[in-house]
Amino acid sequence: MNLPKADGRFQNQDSKEEELSSKKRFENLEVYQTACKFDNLLCSIFTYERSQKDPGLRAQVLNSSGSCQDNIAEGYERGGNAELMNFLRIAKGSIGESRSQVLRAKEREWISQDECDSLIPLAESISKQLGGYLSYLKKSGMKGERYLKEPGPRYGSDIDLLNLES
């Protein structure tokens, strides 16, 4: 599957529908993996011990980062593109919130410039990937995975109830 890269662009646009329909797990999405990497890095920097000056900011930055991951997952699991797009927009807002909180922590000198420099580009990459994914979904015309499934037989219409074998 070829979802948006860090710059928000796709490769092989023509095969997107086929690739999206064959993708079954949100864990395999590059944007989800990048969001996990960002969250893990945040957890290693915003340790409990280092965050005693403002435990509320620590909780807020970790919650918004987790929200980004969770919204990517929830939207993907819904199976419809309209819902997926809504959740991706929420995820994009959450990663923006995380970026703002990282900058606030840097301004207050609670994290180093190097730590900030490792987090901000990663957050920006996630935002670009989400933007690219949203752009693709808008243009694709696909309704989502749940609409690709063949409907099963309908009671009384697609099967002959009188000729069932006992």
User: pLDDT by residue for the chain (166 residues), tens digit each?
Assistant: 455 555 455 555 445 555 454 457 999 999 999 999 999 999 999 888 887 888 888 899 999 999 999 999 999 999 889 999 999 999 999 999 999 999 999 999 999 999 999 999 999 999 999 999 999 999 987 776 665 555 555 555 445 555 555 5
Task: Give buried/exposed letters for 13-24 (b at 16+ CB in 10 A, else e).
Answer: eeebeeebeeee
**pLDDT score, position 51:** 76
| Domains assigned to the chain | 25-147 (1.20.1440.60)
**pLDDT score, position 91:** 98
Structure tokens at 149: 């499934």
**pLDDT score, position 55:** 86
Closest CA to 78 of 14, 70, 30, 94: 70
CA distance 28 to 140: 20
